[in-house]
Amino acid sequence: MAIGAALYERFIYDESGSFLTGSFADYAVPTAGMVPDLLVLHRETLSPITPLGAKGVAEGNSMSTPVCIANAVADAVGVGDLELPLTAPRLLRLLAASEHRPQA
């Protein structure tokens, strides 16, 4: 979910305000083949406010992942302001404008 928000998923409207990405045919949700293998690390920390130290589960890291990806790209290409999602056309424009391009 978070990788999709960072790299693929966008809300697109036409000039008249009609929503163009309202179905899964138009809205780019990444599939398993589009996402790299991940190394998941866990750190157990008990909640101090519940009797058993339990915490709720859900989409806990869906907010920080896009920011981490954007910061890594910004650092790699030497820019300070990025717009998500970092689609392939946006990344190509960033690379073309980057001062960190490899010299041929």
In 3D space, the residue among 25, 6, 20 whose CA is nearest the CA of residue 88 turns out to be: 6
The answer to whether position 42 is within a domain reads no
Domain that holds residue 23: 1-36+58-100
pTM (predicted TM-score): 0.66
Look at residue 21 and tell me if it is in a domain.
yes
Q: What is residue 44's predicted lDDT score, i.e. its pLDDT?
A: 85
pLDDT score for 100: 64
Asked if residue 69 is part of any domain, the answer here is yes
d(C-alpha 57, C-alpha 71), whole Å = 26
**For residues 43 and 75, which has the higher predicted lDDT (pLDDT)?**
75
Q: Which residue has the higher pLDDT, 103 or 28?
A: 28
Domain CATH for 4? 3.30.365.10
CB distance 13 to 93 below 8 Å:
no
**How many domains is the chain partitioned into structurally?**
1
